[in-house]
Amino acid sequence: MPDLIGPVEVVGTGLLGTSIALACRQAGLDVLLSDTSAEHIRTASGLGAGRPRQPGDVPQLVVVAVPPAMLGAVISHALAISPDAVVTDVGSVKGAPLMEVAALPGAERYVGGHPMAGSERSGPLAATPKLFDGRPWAVTPHAGSRPDAVALVEELARLCGAVPVRMEPAEHDLAVARTSHVPHLLAVLVAGRLADAPAEHLALSGQGVRDVTRVAGGDPLLYSQIVTGNAGAVLDLLGEVRDQLDRLIGALSAGDLGTLMGLLERGQEGTRAIPGKHGGPARPTATLYVSVPDHPGELARLFADAGASGVNIEDVRIDHDPGRPVGLVELVVAEDSADVLRAALESLGWAVHR
């Protein structure tokens, strides 16, 4: 099983490609950059992400990081022009590009991949070698993938700081339909109802609707390509959602409390099925609410005081309070630490409640 020694070629120097290139450079590997945009290559080179690929270069590994609709064509091209290289990609959907690639000569050198990382920004200037820190990175060999090719792609994931998660391509697509694409589309439909709303209605918006709709702010063109590329799995789940929506509408119309409660309880179960932080089982946590004046330094003072208590803070949220310059900060801590932290903060003059 060969080690990842490079050169690594990155095709597509956007956010993901350039971030991978930077991580490889940091590990001392020779990185070759290819892109249809010469300007992107210059920018990425300027950031220290590597050098343009030259005719004599022979990459050990090619990473294809182009828009979803282009994946199949660019992977095929990479297999053809680099006849000894392992080829992977970072696309959000794995079945569609594989269909275009599986029957080609060299397909045994292709292993799909999908790092679960991104940003609302795009392009090489947004890149960072830290983008993948601690993230799952799906590695999706097909039936004909060579074992050493799979190992090499997993090594790339680890080199980038991610955690490789091996799955079959079809499994991956079912998984992200459920955990990413369908949640995204439903958030879009909820957010679409807000676009029609009178401004005075939106004045009552709380943190809940902000959370439900946040992902709907993502790039429509990117998401149209993603869900189109995974249409089968997405449509199956959307059909299930439509059935459940019909049941919900029927129950609410008929005043059928039993069915309504059943649906609400099923949703509550679903929130508990999401794995906890660091992939472990969800630990019981408690939330403390602290009122914080909204000027520089107050958060620092709060976190310094919280840190001095020795309690580890699992999650933080600053609520958006319409109407006045006081923020409510939510501190999520292990259930059995909440009283310690609350007492510590109150003794220092913070207004805290659970």
Structure-derived torsion over alpha carbons of residues 32, 36, 38, 40, reported in degrees to the nearest 10: -80
Residues 318, 291 contacting (CB under 8 angstroms)? no
Please tell me the number of Cα atoms within 13 Å of 77 on its side-chain side: 11
Helix (H) or strand (E) holding 169: helix 169-176
By beta-carbon proximity to a copy of itself, the closer residue of 30 and 171 is 171
Of 219, 122, 234, the C-alpha closest to 176 is: 234
| 327 bridge partner residues | 292
Q: Which residues pair with 292 in a beta bridge?
A: 327
Give min distance, CB of 153 to a copy of itself, in A.
Answer: 16
Are the C-beta atoms of 332 and 322 separated by less than 8 Å? no
User: Nearest distance from residue 4's CB to a copy of itself, in Å?
Assistant: 19
Q: How many other C-beta atoms can be found within 10 angstroms of the C-beta atom of residue 223?
A: 19
Query: CA 273 to CA 220: how far, in whole Å?
Result: 29
User: Would you say 79 or 186 has its CB closer to a copy of itself?
Assistant: 186
If the CB atoms of residues 36 and 179 are measured against a copy of itself, the closer one turns out to be 179
β-pairing, 326-334 vs 313-318, is: antiparallel
Nearer to a copy of itself, 20 or 85 (CB): 20
Measured over the CA atoms of residue 148, residue 151, residue 153 and residue 156, the dihedral's sign is negative
Q: Quick one: 90 or 107, whose CB is closer to a copy of itself?
A: 90
Please report how close the Cβ of residue 282 comes to a copy of itself at its closest, in angstroms.
Answer: 10
Output 77 or 317, the one with its CB closest to a copy of itself.
317
Closest Cα partner for 239 from 288, 285, 178, 300? 178
CB of 329 to a copy of itself, least distance (A): 8
- Shortest distance in whole angstroms from residue 231 CB to a copy of itself: 5
Nearest to a copy of itself of 81, 214 (CB atom): 214
Smallest gap from residue 252 Cβ to a copy of itself (A)? 5
Q: Report the nearest approach of a copy of itself to the CB of residue 225 (Å).
A: 9
